[in-house]
Structure 1
Amino acid sequence: MTRPAAPYPVAVVGVGNMGGAMAARLLKLGWPVQVHDIDARKHVTLLAAGAMAHASPAQAALGCAAVIVCVVDAVQCEQVLFGPQGLAGVMPPGGMVLLCPTIAPQDTERLAGRLVRHGLEVLDAPMSGGPARAREGSMSLMLAGPDALVARHETLLGALSSRIFRISERVGDGARTKLVNNLAAGINLVAAAEVLAMARAMGLDLGRTLDVIEQSSGQSWIGSDRMRRAIAGDYVPRAHMTLLEKDTRLALQAAQAAGYSGPLGAAAAQVFARASAAGLADLDDAALLRWLEDPS
């Protein structure tokens, strides 16, 4: 199959924090973008930037050579791909679906298999880095899928990210890599929140303590990013607590399937689960500091 002339029409299904930033990035670069989200309020800023908004995934996918799926979990993926208004039934054979959610590898493999039976091509493409990096095109994109398909859509992929990691040709390996990364992120975030809670208990200034950590051996990107917000009392959700609760749980399940068990992952996953159950589920995961200071 020949490479489509770029820029070509692209749909983004799920335009929350990450999907909306990806759509904004493409619009800024002059790509024709069609969007759909179950929450139509999320269309507003993208409409102002030149996107076309639609009432269903199927309508958004019409006429598009590629669709970026950026929903939350496997259940939502199933709905937008194969539900009553799903896009799989309207895309022409040879169309490409970029699966970006953090989901279990077996779910990625299952969804990809069904898409292939519809005559569609699939890239397993989880992303990482947050909305700001997605908007500026510097997020990490972990690609698993056929080399020929990556080459065919290299212009689109390059527009989305300057940090593309080619994982393998096996769909599902992108999902596995993302879960490894997100378990590391979860462990690091719990560690950062714990030591700052400890610092406050010792009477230290949290801002100065974090200054030291950022320039020393304890530094981590997610620790700095989230704890700066926590120190300011800013818990407006960029990444909901429930996301790392889900991702650490999925990572542990993937580890179990591979026959591996480590000492830290389960402890971190339990922290996110308990913080969510304590009423912080809809806050930014920076609120972990607040919970660790008062877990009652």
Structure 2
Amino acid sequence: MSVEPSAAFPVAIVGVGNMGAGMARRLLGLGWPVQVCDLDAAKMQSLASFGAQAHELPAQASINSVVVIVAVVDAAQTELVLFGEHGIAHVMANGQTVALCPTLSPQDVEGFARRLASMGLRMIDAPMSGGPQRALYGTMSLMVACEEAVFLRHAGLLATLSSQVFRISERVGDGARTKLVNNLAAGINLVGAAEVLAMARAMGLDLATTQRVIEQSSGHSWIGSDRMRRAIDGDFAPRAHMTLLEKDTRLAVDAAQAAGFEGPLGTTARQVFAAASASGLAGQDDGALLKWLSRGA
């Protein structure tokens, strides 16, 4: 279903890291009133220069907002933002909506939805994918699961944020399940891309040339190209920390096992990210897998 972006109304974004900041700048550039909250004051100040209103506490940002977008990292942070001492659920009015964008387990998403519903609040299960540049330009993917009435009410906002809104189902948690399937594919592809370039290095091949061949041949993957181009240049500044795919592959394998499925590659990818993080690369870009896999070459 094609939905046009809607007229602007106040939106809060809690967690303005790479993706949250991209969404905030997207909305601000189109004239939407945006409240932001983050533990990092510098990130909020940067967005204030584009017109955002900055708040120290999640509850402050949510009071006058129609929709609160939660874009933090994990379930523990989401718990604090929603239900902590200064959580948004304590001050939001009956009928307001929370859009939950982190990569979480389906069980956590379902639990958050039940608790919000008991307080009269609606929830959109809306994990995102695509990176900060695509968030900024509104071309990222959103995997949306929620009641039809909630979706229709906020379809315009979702269309403003993303030209790739995938309506997954009405069952909250299915957005999370879809995101984990996608992220496990990304993790498997990235491990493969790093492994073959480490292999090329061990064979004495020029990595840039090898990468160009892969990108025009059957071995190409988007995440492999995105990460390996930087890794070949020795650029490991974190656009996506190693720990994120460590978390996401772990959650994906757990979700698969809960569904009674076990494949040959997911567990291996999870183990690779965990080992690379434990080796001291946790704070680096996940493209640093190339460095880790090349350590004996």
The TM-score by the shorter chain falls in which range?
Answer: over 0.9
Code of the aligned partner of 2:87? G
TM-score (norm 2): 0.97
Shift in Å, 1:57: 0.3
Q: What's the CA shift string for 1:220-276, capped at 9, x where partnerless? A: 000000000101111111100000000000001000100000000000100000000
Query: 1:124 is matched by which residue type in structure 2?
Result: D
For 2:157 and 2:145, locate their aligned partners in 1 and report how far apart those are by CA, in whole Å: 15
Equivalent residue of 2:19, what SS?
A: helix
Aligned length: 292
Cα shift at 1:295: 6.5
Residue in 1 aligned with 2:210?
A: 209
1:275–1:295: 8 Å Cα contact kept in structure 2?
A: no
Is the 8 Å Cα contact of residues 95 and 120 (structure 1) preserved in structure 2? Answer: yes
Q: CA deviation at 1:6?
A: 2.6
Cα distance per residue 1:90-112 (max 9 Å; x no partner): 11111110000001000000001
Distance 1:214 1:23 in 2: 32
- Secondary structure of the residue aligned to 2:142 is strand
Structure 2 residue 93 is the aligned partner of structure 1 residue 92: yes
Report the equivalent of 2:12: 11
SS in 2 for 1:138: coil
What is the CA-CA distance between 1:156 and the residue it aligns to? 0.7
Task: List structure 1 segments (4+ residues) > 2 angstroms apart after TM superposition.
Answer: none
Which residue matches 2:26?
Answer: 25
In structure 2, the partner of 1:153 is 154
1:107-256 to structure 2, matched below 5 A, reads: 107-256=108-257
CA distance in 2, matches of 1:295, 1:161: 42
What is the letter of the counterpart of residue 180 of structure 1?
V
Report what 2:105 is aligned to: 104
C-alpha separation in 1, matches of 2:185 and 2:296 = 23
Aligned partners of 2:7 and 2:150: how far apart in 1?
15
C-alpha separation in 1, matches of 2:53 and 2:20: 15
Distance 1:195 1:227 in 2: 11
Residue deviations 1:22-63, cap 9 Å, x none? 111110111000000011111121000000000100000011
Aligned to 1:153, the other structure's residue is in SS state helix
Counterpart residue number, 2:258: 257
Question: Which piece of structure 1 moves more, 37-46 or 59-68?
Answer: 37-46
Q: What root-mean-square deviation, in Å, do the aligned CA atoms of Structure 1 and Structure 2 show?
A: 1.0
Distance 2:211 2:294 in 1: 16
Question: What amino acid does structure 2 have at the position aligned with 1:212?
Answer: V
Q: Which runs of 5+ in 2 are unaligned?
A: 1-5
Q: Which amino acid aligns with 1:272?
A: F
CA distance in 2 between counterparts of 1:232 and 1:159 reads 35
